[in-house]
Structure 1
Amino acid sequence: MLRRFTPVLLTLIVVALGVTALAARPDTSAPRRTADYVVLAGVAGLRWSDVDPQTTPTLWRMAQQGSIGSLSTRSAHRPTCPVDGWLTLGAGSYAGWNGSRQPGGCPPAGVTVEQPDGIGANLPDQEGVVAYNADRQPWGTVPGSLSESVRCSVAVGPGAAVAAARPFGRVDRYAPALPADPAGLLGSCVLSIVDLGAVSGTDPADRRADARRADEALAKVLAARPQRSLVLVAGVSDTESPARLHVVVADGPGWEHGWLTSASTGREGYLQLVDLAPTALIALGRPMPERLFLGRPAVKVDGRPDDLATAISAPADADREAAAQRSVAGWFFALLAAAQVVLAIAVLPLLRRARRLAGPHSPPPVSRRIVATVELLLVAVALAVPAALLADAVPWWRGEHAGAYFALVTVALIVGGTALVRFAPGHDRTLGPLGAVAGLATLVVGADVLSGARLQLNGVVGYSALEGGRFSGLGTVGLGVFLAGSLLSAGWLAQRVRRQWRPMVVVAVGGLAVVVIGSPYLGADSIGAIALTAGVAVAAAISTGGWLTISRLVWATMAGLALTIGFAVVDLRRPVEERGALGRFLTALGEGTGGLTVHRSSTANFQTLVNSPLTVLAVVGLLLVWFALLQPWGGLMRLFGIYPAIRAALAGTALAAVIAGLLGGAALDVAGAAAALVVPMAALASLRVLDHSTDRTLPGTGNPRPGGLDGPPGGAPPDDAPDGGRPDDGGEARAVDGDAPTTGAGEPSDGPRAGGPDEGGADGTDDAGARPAGRDAAKVPAARTPGAVESARSGAVAGRSDAGAR
C-alpha cells in the first residue's frame, strides 16, 4: 500500500510547493486618482546621458523633485522609430506605423495632419494604420485607445497628434507648436500630449543642442501646467539604430523623490513605453478600455539616493550595459556553439576506443593525458554559461573595449571553476564531475535569483531591457541552466541514497527549485515552474529504476496539470490589472481573444527557432546523444543502467526544457541552454563508464581486483563499501554513494551480465528494472570460484553487443 500511494504523496507535495510559491505575490497595486490633469511630454531619443544641470536645467530640477526611471521603448517594429513610439504611447500596446521602411531604418518622419476647422485635426492615414495593426500585427492593438478613454484630449506637435488621434483619425484639440502662453490650451482637456522635439545623432555637441531646445520647451509646459497635474516626460523612441534605454520622469502629487516601476517590469527603476497610457488613466481615475492595455500602471517606490547625480548614474550605466550586451552576446553564443560542435567531434573517437575489448586485436587505449584533457574541456564548456552570468558582477561594459574585458573575465571564471571541479573531493568517481558542475551551475543561478536577479538584467546570458520581454526573475538561458542543474543535482544526490529514498530526494530538491522559479519574488516564471513540476514528477517516478510506465506518466501529467489549475484559480481571483500571464490568457479565452495570444506565442517560437544560436546548441546536443552516446558503443545506455537516478534526471530535464520553451515562446532556447550543461557532462560520464567496463569484482568480497582478473588477488575493500565491502541483500554488492562496487578509482565494476548484480544501486538491486528469469535467479552467490567468474566473463564478452542495455 505504501508503494502504491507513494506517487500520490509525491504529486501532492510538488503541487503544494508550487501553488504556495505562485500564490504569494508582491504588492503591485496601482495608485488611484492622484491628479485632475495629465500632461505627457515626449522627446524622441532622449537618454539619461543627455541630462545634466547645465544643458537641461528644467528637466534636472523636475527629476530632483519627482520620480525617475529607465524607459524601454519597445513597439511593434524594431528599431522603434519616432512615429512608432508616438503611436505605441497612444495605444497602450505595441503598435507600428504602416509606412515603408528599410531594414534597421525608419520611414520618412512626415505625418499628414489636416486642420479643417482650426480647433482639432485629422490624420487621414489613421484608418490604414488601425487596419495594419489589426491584420498584420499579433498584439490586437487599437491605435488611439488612450484618447478614446477620455472625453477630451489635446495634442501639440505632429508626434503628439499621432498619439492623440482617435481610431478614426480625429484629434480633439491640436496646435502645431506650443503657443507663447500654453496655459489655456493645456487646461482645456484632462489629457494633453506634447511633442517637445527629438535628440538625435552621435555627435555630443549636436545632442546637447537638441536637448537644450527640448528643455526650453519643457520649461514653458511646466510654467503653464494646470493645478493638481501629473507631468510625465519620456524619451518616446529611438532616433537611430541600435535601440537604447531612454528617460522617464514623473512629477506631481504622490510622485515625489522615488524610482518608477510597474507590474509589467517588476524591476525598480524600469518602465515600458506601453505603461504610460494606463498610468495616465489611473492617475485621472478613469477606467481602463475594454480591450486591455499590454502595459501596467506605473508606481513610485522609495530607495532612490538623495543625490540626483548618483541616482542618474544608475540608469545611464544600465543603458551602456544594455548597449554593450547586444554586441557581445552574439559572438559569445556563436563561440559556445562552435566549441560544443568541436568537442562533440573530438569525443567520438574517444568513445569508440574507451572500452577495452578482449583479444589481441583490441585497439590500444587512448593516452590518459588526452582523456584527462578532453574531460577538463568538457567541464569548461559546461561551465561557460554560469561563468558568463557571473562575469556581469564585474562592470566590463564601462571600458573602451567591452568585448575584450568580458572575454577575459569569463575565461578567468571558467578556468577557476574548472580547477575547483578538478580538485574537488570525489572527482575520480564516475559521477564526481557531473555532480560538481551541476551543483556549481545551480548555485550561481540560484544565488543570483535569490539576490534579485541583478546579473540576469542586461547580462550577456540574461535578458535585455531593450527587448522589453522581461525585466526581472529568470531569463530563458538562466531557466534552462537552472532546470538542468537542479535536476542533475537531485539525481546525483538521489543516487547516493538507498533506492526507496530516491524519489523523496528528487522531490525535495526539485520542489525547492520549483519554488525558486515560480515565486514572483524570485524567478517570477510560472510557465517554468509548471514545466519543472512535470520534469520533477517524471524524474521521481523513474529514479528507482524501470521504465516510464503509463501509471507513472499519468501521475507526472497530473502533477503538472494540478499545479497549472491551482495557479490559474489563484490568478483569476486577482484584479484584472494584477493578473499574471496565465490569468490574462484565460481571461482572453473567455473574451474570445485567446487566439491572439496563441498567435503571438507561435510567432515568437518560429522566430526564435530560426534566429537563435541556442537552437544550434540544442540540435548539436541532440545529434551527439542520439547518434553517439545512445549507441551500443556510446556508453550512455550503460550509464543509465548503472545509475538510474541520473537517467531519471536527464529525462526530467529534457521534458521540462521542451515544455518551458514551447509554452514560453522560446522554442528550443531553454533546451539549448540546458544542453550546454547536460550534454558535456553526459559525454564525460559515458567516457568514464566505458573506461571501466572491463573491471571485475573479486569473488566473495564484492570488490574489484585491481587490473581486472589479471590483477593480484586480495586487496583492502574500498572506503565507500559498507561493512568492509561484504555482500549484502542476498549476496549483491552495494556502495554507500549508489555506485556499483568500485575500483581503486571508485568506478563501477561490470558483472557477468549487463545490468546484473554487480551494477546494482545502493540497495544492490537491479535499478534499471531488468531481472533474471525466476525469483531465485535474482540472488547471486556471495562466493564464486575464479573459474566460474572467468567463464561468465568470457560469455559476456563474446555475446555483448549492448553492454549497458537492459
Structure 2
Amino acid sequence: MLRRLAPVLLTLVVVALGVTALTARPEQGSPRPRADYVVLVGMAGLRWDDVDPEHTPTLWRMARDGSIGSLSVRSAHRPTCPVDGWLTLGAGNFAAWAGNRQAQVCPPGQVTVEQPDSIGANLPDQEAQVLHNQERLPWGTVPGALSESVRCSVAVGPGAAVAAARPFGRVDRYAPALPADPAELLGSCVLSIVDLGTVTGEDPTLRAEAVRAADADLARVLAARPPQSLVVVAGISDTEQPSRLHVAVADGPGWERGWLTSASTGREGYLQLVDLAPTALAVLGRPMPERLFIGQPAAPVEGRPADLATAITAPADADREAGAQRRVADGFFVVVAVVQVLLAIAVLPLLRRARRHAGVGRAPVPRRVVAVVEVLLVAAALALPAALLADLVPWWRGEHAGWYFAVVTAAVLAAATTLVRLAPGYAATLGPLGVVAALATLVVGADVLTGARLQLNGVIGYSALQGGRYAGLGTVGLGIFVGGSLLTAGWLAQRVRRAWRPMVMVSVGGLAVVVVGSPYLGSDSIGAIALTAGVSVAAAISAGGWLTVSRLAWASMAALAVTVGFAVLDLRRPATERGSLGRFLAALGDGTGGLTVHRSSTANVETLTNSPLTVLALAGALLVWFALLQPWGGLKRLFGIYPAMRGAMAGTAVAALVGGLLSGAALDVAGAAGALVVPMAALAALRVLDHSADRTQPVGDRPQDAVPAAGRADGGAVASTAGGRGAGASTAGGRGAGASAGVSPP
C-alpha cells in the first residue's frame, strides 16, 4: 500500500512546495507619492554619460535632489527611433510608427502637425497609426491611451504632439516650441509633455552642444513648473544602432534622492519607457486603463549613494555592460555550439570502441586519449557557468571587451575544470557528473540568492536593452539550473537505498522549485511549473522502471496542480501585483488573452530560427538519440545501473522543453540544459562501456544481493552503483581485485 501511495504523496509534496514558492510575494513599498500636475520631459538619445555639472547643471541638480534610474526604451520597433519612443510614451505599450524605413536605421523625424486654431493641434496620420498598431502588431497598442485617460493635456514640440495626441489625432493644448515663460501653458492641464529635442551621434563636442541647449530649456521648465508637480526627464528613444540605456530622473515631493524602479522590472534603478504613462496616471490619482497599458507605475526606493557622481556611475556602467553584452553574447554562443558539435563528433568513434568484450574485438582507444576527451567534456559542460562567473570581473570596460571576456572566461573555465579533475571522486563513473552538476547549480543558485547581479546584462543572462527581464532567473540560467539541480539530485539519490531515492529527488528538486519560482529569488513562475513536472517525472522513475503513462500522468497532474493553485491565489491580488500567469488569465477573462498567445508563439518562432542555443539543443538531441541510446552507445546501460540518473535526465528534458515553450524561449532552455547534461551523459556512457566486461562477485546472503553488482539497479552494498569505490568498484570507474572473476553482468 505504501508503495502505491508513494507517487501520490510525493506529488503532493512537490505541489505544496511549488505553490508556496509562487504565492509568497515581497511586501509592497510605501504608497506612491501623489501630485497635482505631471510634466513629462523627453530628450531623445540622452544618456547618463551626457550628464555632468558643466554641460547640464540643471539636470545635474535635478538628479541630485530627485530619483534616478536607467531607462530601457524598448518599443515595437528595433531600434526605438524618436517617433517610436514618443508614440510608445503616449500609448503606455510597445508601439511603432508606420512608414517606410530602412532596417536598423531611424528615418528623419517628419511628423505632420496641423494647427487649425491657436489652442490645440491635429495629427492627420494618427488614425493610421492606431490601425497599424492594432492590426499589424501583436501588442494590442492604442496610441493616445495616456491622453485619453486625462481630461486635458499639453504638448510642446512635435515629438510631444505624437505622445499627447488622442486616438483620433486631436492634441488638447499645443505649442510648437517652448515659450519664453511657459508657466501659464504648463499650468493649463494636469499633464504636460515637452519635447526638448534630440541628442544624436557619438561626437563629444556635438553631443555637449545639444545637451547644453536642452538643459537651458529644462531650466525654464523647472522655473515655470506648477506647484505640487512631478517632473520626469527621460531619454525617450535611441537615435541609431546600437541601442543604449538612457536617462530617467523624477523630481517632486516624495521622490527625493532615491533609485527609480517599477513592478515591470523588479530591479532597483531600472524602469521601462512603457512605465512612464502609468506613472503619470498613478501620481495624478487617475484610473488605469489596464487592458491598454503593459507598463507599471514607477516608484522611488532608498539605497542610492548620497554623492551623485558616485550614484550615476552605476547606470553609466550598466549602459556600457549592456552594449558589450550584445556584441559578445551571439559570438560566444556560436563558439560554444560549434565546439560542442565538434566534440560530439569526436566522441562517436570512442563510443564505438569503448565497449570491451572480455578481450575480444578491436583494441580500445589509448587511455591518454580517453582522459583528454573526458577533460574536454567536463570543460564543455562548464562553459556556460564559467561565462556567468566571468561577470565578476568588469571585462566590458576595456576597448577590446570581447577579448577580455574570452580571457576571463577561459581562466575561470580552466580553474573549474582543474577543480573537477582533482576532486576525490573523479575516478568513479558518476564522479565528474556529480561534481560538475553541483558546481553549475551552486554558481547559478548563488547568483540568484544574491540578487541575480551576474545575469543582469551578462553574456549568460538577460539584457536590459531587450526589455524581456530585469531580475531573477533568465532563460539560460534556468536551463543550467534545471539540468544541474536534477543531475545533482539524481547523483545524490543514487548513493542511497532504492526506497529513499524518490525522497531525495523530491527534497532537492523541491528546493530548486522554490529557488526558481519565489518572487524573492528566481521570480519565474513558468519555470517553476515546468520544473515541478520535471521533478515529478524524475522522482517517479528514480527507483527503477520507465516513464509509463501513469507516471507521466502524475507528473502532469503535479504541474497542473501547481499552476491552478498559483493562478487562483494570484488572481486575488491587485492587478499591479500579479505575476505573469495571473496577468495572462486576467487577459483571457477580458478577451485579450489571444494577444498573449500570439506574442508567445511569435517569440517561439523567432527564437527557434535565430538562437545559437537551438543548435545546441538539436545537436544534443541527435547525439543522445542516434548514438548514446543505441546498443553501442552506453546510455541504456548507464540507465540500467543507475536508474536515478535516468530519472534526472528524463526530468531535465521534460522541464526544459515545457519551460522553453511556455515562456516563448523555444529550445533555448533545452539548449542551455543540454550544454551541461549531454557532455556529462557522454562521459558517463564512455566509462560504463569501458567496464562493460568487468566481473564482480555477488555479496551478502540476501536475495537482492545475489544479483551481479554491475547489473543491479539499487546500489545496495556495492559502492560502484553509488558512484563510489569499493569491493566492486570496477563498475564505477575503477578496477578492483575481483574485476576478472564472477558472473558477467547483464
Q: TM-score range by the shorter chain?
A: over 0.9
Matched to 1:255, the amino acid is W
Aligned positions, number:
733
Where 1:304 maps in the other structure, the secondary structure is coil
Q: Deviations over 1:91-139 (max 9, x none)?
A: 0000000011111111221100000112100001111100000011100
Q: Which secondary structure state, in structure 2, belongs to the residue aligned with residue 248 of structure 1?
A: strand
TM superposition shift of 1:401 = 1.1
Secondary structure at 1:523 match in 2? coil
Find the aligned partners of 2:61 and 2:359 in 1 and give their Cα distance: 86
Task: Tell me the distance in 1 between the aligned counterparts of 2:728 and 2:347.
Answer: 22
Deviations along 1:164-184, whole A, 9 cap, x unmatched? Answer: 000000000100000110000
Which stretch of structure 1 is more off in the superposition, 573-582 or 594-603? 573-582
CA distance in 1, matches of 2:725, 2:520: 45
1:446 corresponds to which residue? 445
1:697/1:749 contact within 8 Å kept:
no
CA 741–269 in structure 1, closer or farther in 2 if over 3 Å, else same:
closer
The structure-2 alpha-carbon separation of the partners of 1:748 and 1:517, relative to structure 1 and needing over 3 Å to count, comes to same
**Residues 282-291 or 534-543, more deviating:** 282-291
**How far has the Cα of 1:357 moved from its partner?**
2.7
The answer as to whether partners of 1:693 and 1:749 remain within 8 angstroms in 2 is no
5 Å-filtered alignment, 1:286-365, equals 286-358=286-358, 362-365=361-364
- CA distance 1:359–1:282, shift in 2 (3 Å): closer
CA shift, 1:426, in A, is: 0.8
Structure 1 match to 2:70: 70
Equivalent residue runs for 1:592-671 within 5 Å:
592-671=591-670
1:747 counterpart residue number:
730
Residue matched to 2:103 = 103
Does the aligned pair in 2 maintain the 1:31–1:282 contact within 8 Å?
no
Specify the code of the residue in structure 2 equivalent to 1:55: H
8 Å Cα contact 1:147/1:165 also seen in 2: yes
Q: What TM-score does the superposition give when structure 2 sets the normalisation length?
A: 0.96
CA RMSD across the alignment: 1.7
Deviations 1:245-279 (Å, cap 9, x if unpaired)? 00000000110110000000000000000000000
Q: What TM-score, normalized to structure 1?
A: 0.89
Structure 2 distance, partners of 1:580, 1:515, is 15
8 A contact 1:39–1:194 mirrored in 2: yes
Question: Counterparts of 1:585 and 1:523 in 2: how far apart (Å)?
Answer: 19
- In the alignment, is residue 685 of structure 1 matched against residue 668 of structure 2? no
In 2, Cα distance between equivalents of 1:476 and 1:306: 35
What does residue range 474-513 of structure 1 map to in structure 2 within 5 Å? Answer: 474-513=473-512
Q: Which amino acid aligns with 2:355?
A: R
- Structure 1 residue 728: deviation in Å? 6.6
One-letter code aligned to 2:278? P
* Mapped pair 1:738 → 2:721: yes
Residue 37 of structure 2 is matched in structure 1 by: 37
Q: What's the secondary structure of 2:731's corresponding residue?
A: coil
> Is it true that 1:27 corresponds to 2:27 in the alignment?
yes
Q: What does residue 761 of structure 1 align with? A: none
Matching residue of 1:729: 704
Q: CA deviation at 1:2?
A: 1.2
Q: CA deviation at 1:156?
A: 0.2
Q: Secondary structure at the match of 1:58?
A: helix
Change (3 A) 1:55 1:256: same
- Aligned equivalents of 2:368 and 2:395: distance in 1? 35
Asked whether the equivalents of residues 155 and 161 of structure 1 are also in contact (C-alpha less than 8 Å), the reply is yes
| Matched ranges for 1:104-253 at <5 A | 104-253=104-253
Secondary structure class of the residue paired with 2:704 = coil
Q: Matched residues in 1 for 2:129 and 2:204: separation?
A: 35
TM-aligned CA distance change 1:290 to 1:743, over 3 Å: closer
Report the Cα offset of residue 748 of structure 1. Answer: 1.7
CA distance in 2, matches of 1:334, 1:398: 23
Cα pair 1:497 1:737 within 8 Å, conserved: no
Structure 1 position 730, deviation (Å):
4.9
Q: Amino acid of the residue matched to residue 572 of structure 2?
A: R
Map 1:726-805 onto structure 2 (within 5 A): 729-732=704-707, 733=709, 734-736=717-719, 738-739=721-722, 746-748=729-731, 793=744
Instruction: Give SS of 1:426's match.
Output: coil
Matched residue, 1:425: 424
Structure 1 position 547, deviation (Å): 1.6
Deviations 1:580-636 (A, max 9, x none): 111111111111111000000000000000000000000100111111101110000
81-90 vs 4-13, greater mean Cα deviation: 4-13
Listed one character per residue, the Cα deviations across residues 661-687 of structure 1 (whole Å, up to 9, x for unaligned) are 000000000000000000000000000
Matching residue of 1:2 = 2
- In 2, are the aligned partners of 1:428 and 1:746 still within 8 Å (CA)? no
Q: Is the 8 A contact 1:42 1:233 kept in 2?
A: yes
Preserved CA contact (<8 Å) 1:488 1:646: yes
Q: In structure 2, what residue type is equivalent to 1:402? A: A
Quote the Cα distance in structure 2 between the aligned partners of 1:277 and 1:561.
36
Partner of 1:274: 274
1:571 paired residue number: 570
Q: CA deviation at 1:3?
A: 1.1
Q: Secondary structure at the match of 1:470?
A: coil
Q: CA distance change for structure 1 residues 107 and 744 in 2, over 3 Å: closer, same or farther? A: farther
Distance 1:189 1:740 in 2: 73
Q: Secondary structure at the match of 1:124?
A: coil
Q: Work out which structure has the larger RCO, using CA pairs closer than 8 Å and 6 or more positions apart in sequence.
A: 2
Deviations 1:381-404 (A, max 9, x none): 100000000000100111111111
* Alpha carbons 1:740, 1:748 under 8 Å: kept: no
Report which of the two structures shows the higher radius of gyration computed on alpha carbons. 1
Q: CA deviation at 1:729?
A: 3.5
> In the TM superposition, what is the alpha-carbon distance from 1:735 to its structure 2 partner?
2.0
Give 1:748's aligned amino acid: T
Q: Identify the residue that residue 471 of structure 1 maps to in structure 2.
A: 470
Query: Which 10-residue stretch deviates more, 508-517 or 736-745?
Result: 736-745
Alpha carbons 1:274, 1:295 under 8 Å: kept: yes
2:170 and 2:359 mapped to 1: Cα distance?
90
Q: Deviations over 1:687-728 (max 9, x none)?
A: 000000010123xx54xxxxxxxxxxxxxxxxxxxxxx7777
- Separation in structure 2 between the aligned mates of residue 385 and residue 294 of structure 1, nearest angstrom: 32
Residue 434 in 1 paired to residue 433 in 2? yes
Q: How many percent identity over aligned positions?
A: 75
User: Which position in structure 2 is the counterpart of 1:398?
Assistant: 397
Q: What is the identity, as a one-letter code, of the residue corresponding to 2:492? A: L
Shift of 1:363: 1.0
Give structure 2 stretches of 5+ with no counterpart. Answer: 710-716
Structure-2 separation of matches of 1:61 and 1:33: 21
8 Å contact kept, 1:234–1:249: yes
Deviation at 1:555, TM superposition (A): 1.4
Cα distance change on mapping 1:373 and 1:287 into 2, 3 Å: same
**Structure 2 contact 92–278 (Cα < 8 Å) conserved:** yes
Deviation at 1:549, TM superposition (A): 2.1
In structure 2, distance between residues paired with 1:520 and 1:740: 36
Give the CA deviation at 1:738.
3.5
Aligned residue number for residue 771 of structure 1: none
In 2, the alpha carbon distance for the partners of 1:429 and 1:253 equals 65
Kept in 2, the 8 Å contact 1:333–1:613? The answer is yes
Describe the superposition over 1:559-581 as per-residue Cα deviations: whole angstroms up to 9, x where unpaired.
10110011101110101122111
For residue 314 of structure 2, what is the amino acid of its counterpart?
A: A
Q: Which amino acid aligns with 2:123?
A: L
Which position in structure 2 is the counterpart of 1:714? none
For residues 500 and 101 of structure 1, what CA distance do their matches in structure 2 show?
65
1:38 to partner: Cα distance: 0.2
